[in-house]
Amino acid sequence: METELPPRHPEAPAPGTELGPHYAKCFGCGEQPDGLHMRMVAGDGLYLDSTFKVLEAHQGAPGLAHGGLLVCAFDEALGTTAGTFLRRPAVTGKLDTDFLRPVPVDSVLHIRSTLDGVAGRKVYVSADGRLDGPEGPIAVKARGLFVTVKLEHFAKHGRASDIAAVTANPSMLEVNP
Ligand SMILES: CCCCCCCCCC(=O)SCCNC(=O)CCNC(=O)[C@H](O)C(C)(C)COP(=O)(O)OP(=O)(O)OC[C@H]1O[C@@H](n2cnc3c(N)ncnc32)[C@H](O)[C@@H]1OP(=O)(O)O
């Protein structure tokens, strides 16, 4: 597959900027009580550095993070990477995850997610998640294919009451190109 490495969008946040939630009700980065509350900082290339603290509600086995929630954290990081550097919303088409080490409750997963290439509407992204700090051992790796969509995608498919709430209060959304 031929891909291009796009330039960093001129309106992408400056390196070192902490991103706000892309949507106030997002499970990954928004205000949901049991959500992941991920924090993300723009890198100086086409990458983001994110952290996700594994909480009590995120368990799948005693004292360990649920694998599906870990996938959620990568979905969030990868989708935000695509959206941030292209300044266009992108939805998950495909997500492939390798679980290399168990991730305990109370640990912080340090995720670096990178935009690897673009082919038309397809955006290829990948990420590593490390334990014990940004240089620690890799616990989870992921690769994703995201597909850019117009805002109409959400208006067409989303629950009407949520679309109405966002329309009435656009500050609930970060990407509004
Ligand atoms: C700052 C913003 C932050 C955003 C963060 C978000 C984080 C969370 C992200 C999510 O969780 S999004 C929710 C989960 N994903 C979805 O709900 C997507 C559901 N799927 C769809 O809506 C559609 O299938 C989709 C928009 C992905 C594609 O439908 P389209 O009709 O618009 O496009 P089309 O099917 O023509 O596909 C466009 C290209 O993508 C390719 N493609 C689409 N899905 C694919 C797939 N699954 N695997 C491989 N390729 C895929 C497709 O082959 C084609 O390639 P070509 O351009 O080369 O022909």
Q: pLDDT of 128-172, one tens digit each?
A: 999 999 999 999 999 999 999 999 999 999 999 999 999 999 999
Asked whether residue 16 is domain-assigned, the answer is no
CATH of the domain at 124: 3.10.129.10
Give the bridge partners for 142, in sequence order. Answer: 97, 127
Q: Tell me the residue ranges of DSSP E strands in the chain.
A: 39-42, 47-53, 59-61, 64-65, 90-99, 108-119, 122-130, 138-148
Report the C-alpha gap between 150 and 83 in whole angstroms.
Answer: 12
Give the pair of three-digit tokens for residue 156. Answer: 């067409």
CA distance 21 to 36: 11
Number of domains the chain contains: 1
Which tokens in the block code for residue 112? 């670096």
> Is 101 a domain residue?
yes
Where do we find the tokens 């796009």?
6
Using CA atoms, how far apart are residues 150 and 106, in angstroms rounded to an integer?
38
Whether 22 is covered by a domain: the verdict is no
In a domain, 88, yes or no: yes
Q: Quick: pLDDT tens for 19-44.
A: 999 999 999 999 999 999 999 999 99
* pLDDT tens digits along 71-118: 999 999 999 999 999 999 999 999 999 999 999 999 999 999 999 999
54 three-class SS: coil
Q: Which H or E run contains 80? A: helix 67-86
**Nearest CA, atom 6, ligand 1:** 79
pLDDT of residue 174: 81
Taking the centre of ligand 1 as the mean of its atom positions, its distance from the CA of residue 106, in whole angstroms, is 33
ipTM entry: 0.97
- What is the torsional sign of CA 105, 133, 45, 41? positive
Q: Is 34 a catalytic residue?
A: no
Atom of ligand 1 nearest to the CA of 78: 7
CB 124 within 8 A of CB 145: yes
Is 10 among the domain residues? no
Does residue 94 lie within any of the structural domains? yes
Looking at residue 175, what is its pLDDT?
65
pLDDT band per the 50, 70, 90 thresholds, residue 66: very high
Beta bridge partners of 124: 117, 145
Q: Among 52, 95, 147, name the best residue to mutate to test ligand 1's pocket (greatest count of ligand atoms within 8 A of Cβ).
A: 147
Asked whether residue 18 is domain-assigned, the answer is no
The total of other beta-carbon atoms located within 10 Å of residue 137's CB is 10
51 close to 63: Cβ distance less than 8 angstroms: no
Domain that holds residue 87: 39-172
Does residue 56 sit within a domain? yes
- Look at ligand 1, atom 34, and give the residue with the nearest C-alpha: 147
